[in-house]
Structure 1
Amino acid sequence: MINTEAPDLSSSPFSRPAVLRPYIPGEALSSRSAAKFAGVTPQTIAAWAEKHKIGRVIQRKLVISRIALQALLEDEQEILSAYLSGDRESPNVRLMYTRLGIELPASQIAAAE
């Protein structure tokens, strides 16, 4: 069951969610691919992107984070909130990258060690 509440970003040092920042090509999904992956329509993905901040517009196209989408689908609000606040270092966020086979940039890995 997907949590219908938007993540709390009030403690975030960012003025906007840190979704797909840094941009990692293997993490990005088109809205159509994200919809197919999640078993919903592209319109639902667009609504989730707006409400839960799981994507952003890049070159006039909505791009969805696989990390954020997976956290949303698994109702992992702690991971989603951490990810959206820019956290790429905590064990649970790093584990999500590993589970999805997405390699973090070396600078992110070095910062976590």
Structure 2
Amino acid sequence: MTDDPKILVPFDHDEAIPIRIMARLAGISEQTARNWCAEHGLGRRIAGRWWGSRVALAMFRDGDKAALNAYHAGQRDGRVADYFARVRAQKLKNL
């Protein structure tokens, strides 16, 4: 078993966002978004391209380290599920 954080595992198109979108949502540069992905586990490289997690970004911006740690551990229930529901609701609202 690997100890790698379970970021965007499994890959979900509702959760994943390109770095340029993540940067815009967070009001930061694309380089800072890539740095946050690497340093704080907010995204990962897939086929050479960085993808951010809407869910991990929401947890990070809320300062919810417990939820972010649970997400990294692969948990997708409880508090983490609440973030998934919130992110999906926001996405639907913006359609």
Taking structure 2 as the reference length, the TM-score comes to 0.88
Task: Tell me the number of residue pairs that the alignment of Structure 1 and Structure 2 aligns.
Answer: 89
Q: CA deviation at 1:14?
A: 3.5
User: What 5-or-longer segments of structure 2 have no aligned partner?
Assistant: 90-95
Q: Which runs of 5+ in 1 are unaligned?
A: 1-12, 103-113
Match of 1:100 among 63, 71, 87: 87
The structure with the larger Rg is 1
Asked if 1:34 is matched to 2:34, the reply is: no
Distance in 2 (alpha carbons) for counterparts of 1:23 and 1:62? 13
Q: CA RMSD in A?
A: 1.2
Normalised by the length of structure 1, the TM-score is 0.75
Partner of 2:28, secondary structure, is coil
Q: Which one of the candidate residues 1, 9, 20 is aligned to 1:21?
A: 9
Correspondence for 2:49: 61
State how far apart, in whole Å, the 2-side matches of 1:99 and 1:73 are.
Answer: 13
Q: Distance in 2 between matches of 1:93 and 1:53?
A: 15
1:43 counterpart (16, 31, 34) = 31
1:88-113 residue CA offsets vs partner (Å, 9 max, x unmatched): 02x211110111117xxxxxxxxxxx
Cα deviation, 1:28-83, whole Å, max 9, x if unaligned, reads 01110000000111111111111111111111100011111110011010110000
Aligned residue in 2 for 1:73? 61
1:88 aligned residue: 76
CA contact under 8 A between 1:14 and 1:85: conserved in structure 2?
Answer: no
Q: Which has the higher helix share?
A: 2
| Secondary structure class of the residue paired with 1:25 | coil
